[in-house]
């Protein structure tokens, strides 16, 4: 940090400070409010689209946005940034950094990975006791959990099963950090069925996790666009349906459209040339 040039205060310097403050404040918001702020202000989805996406009443979406703005303003005021919400355009705000929880199977096993993740500017938290895992996850609700194998007496698949049925935790991406000699373990196939997102071989590095993070974000955004495309198709809103399908294709590739290829919502579009081109 010492050898990086720090911009002088003034308009540019103040904007940098404001953006950093907004990032920090956003990271402290509950996940539902943070997602609402992100999708509405930064990705440009409308309140109606959010209601469709989450299958919630429009009043609930409006409430989340109102609460998110109020909480964001309060956090900024506590940091002395009284004018931050009015001086910073939403499009200029950078999203909070990806938050990762790593279960520590011993300093020798995860030392290199911890250093690599921090060098990639991930927000990293380490859990050293298996008894504290779920408690800490419910308190922090990270974006990614990297679970070392083995991790004390913990049954990794039982922990994964618990995460996937917990409404607060099911969105967390789970990566298993697996010793090379265990890559043929039959239990790993069970983990796929339970919904593990990725396997990392140990030793691993931060570059692998960074690639996975970008891919995960694209997959999630593609799923959001698919959901919206189906809803627009049922409403016979062809331009918006095709727009969403095109973005899903760009983000997730051809496989991202396979889940809705046979959806009856698109029956009326089967003969449309632009629609057929998406699946060719």
- Domain covering 99-204: architecture: 3-Layer(aba) Sandwich (3.40)
Is residue 275 predicted with pLDDT exceeding 50? yes
Please report, for residues 102, 178, 185, the alpha-carbon distance to residue 181 in angstroms, rounded to integers and kept in the order given: 21, 8, 8
Q: What are the structural domain ranges in the chain? A: 11-92, 99-204, 214-279
The rounded mean pLDDT for the chain is 76
Q: Give tens-digit pLDDT for 213-233.
A: 777 777 777 877 887 788 888
Q: Could you say which DSSP state residue 270 is in?
A: T
Is residue 212 predicted with pLDDT exceeding 50? yes
What is the rounded average pLDDT of the residues 3-14?
38
> What is the rounded distance in angstroms from the CA atom of residue 81 to the CA atom of residue 76?
5
What is the rounded average pLDDT of the residues 178-200?
77
Q: Give tens-digit pLDDT for 36-94.
A: 887 787 767 788 888 877 778 888 888 888 888 888 888 777 766 655 444 444 444 44
Which residue is listed with tokens 């050293």?
128
Contact 53, 45 (CB under 8 A): yes
Structure tokens at 199: 């396997």
> What is the rounded distance in angstroms from the CA atom of residue 70 to the CA atom of residue 30?
12
pLDDT for residue 17:
55
CATH entry 1.10.10.10 includes domain 11-92: yes
Contact 171, 162 (CB under 8 A): no
Is residue 211 predicted with pLDDT exceeding 80? no
């Amino acid at each position: 940090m010492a050898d990086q040039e720090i911009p002088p205060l003034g308009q540019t310097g103040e904007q940098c400070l404001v953006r950093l403050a907004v990032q920090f404040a956003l990271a402290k918001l509950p996940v539902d409010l943070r997602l609402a702020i992100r999708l509405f202000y930064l990705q440009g989805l409308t309140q109606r689209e959010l209601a469709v996406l989450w299958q919630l009443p429009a009043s609930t979406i409006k409430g989340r946005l109102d609460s998110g703005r109020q909480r964001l303003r309060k956090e900024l005021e506590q940091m002395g940034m009284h004018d931050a919400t009015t001086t910073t355009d939403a499009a200029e705000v950078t999203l909070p950094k990806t938050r990762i929880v790593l279960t520590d199977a011993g300093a020798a096993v995860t030392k290199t990975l911890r250093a690599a993740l921090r060098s990639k500017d991930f927000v990293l938290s380490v859990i050293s006791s298996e008894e504290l895992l779920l408690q800490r996850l419910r308190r922090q609700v990270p974006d990614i959990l990297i679970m070392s194998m083995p991790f004390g007496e913990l049954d990794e698949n039982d922990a994964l099963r618990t995460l996937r049925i917990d409404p607060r935790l099911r969105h967390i991406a789970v990566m298993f950090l697996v010793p090379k000699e265990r890559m043929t373990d039959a239990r790993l196939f069970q983990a796929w069925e339970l919904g593990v997102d990725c396997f990392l071989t140990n030793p691993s590095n931060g570059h692998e996790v960074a690639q996975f993070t970008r891919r995960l974000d694209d997959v999630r955004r593609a799923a959001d666009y698919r959901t919206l495309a189906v809803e627009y198709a049922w409403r016979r809103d062809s331009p918006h349906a095709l727009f969403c399908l095109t973005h899903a294709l760009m983000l997730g590739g051809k496989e991202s459209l396979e889940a809705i290829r046979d959806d009856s919502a698109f029956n009326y579009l089967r003969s449309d040339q632009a629609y057929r081109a998406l699946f060719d």
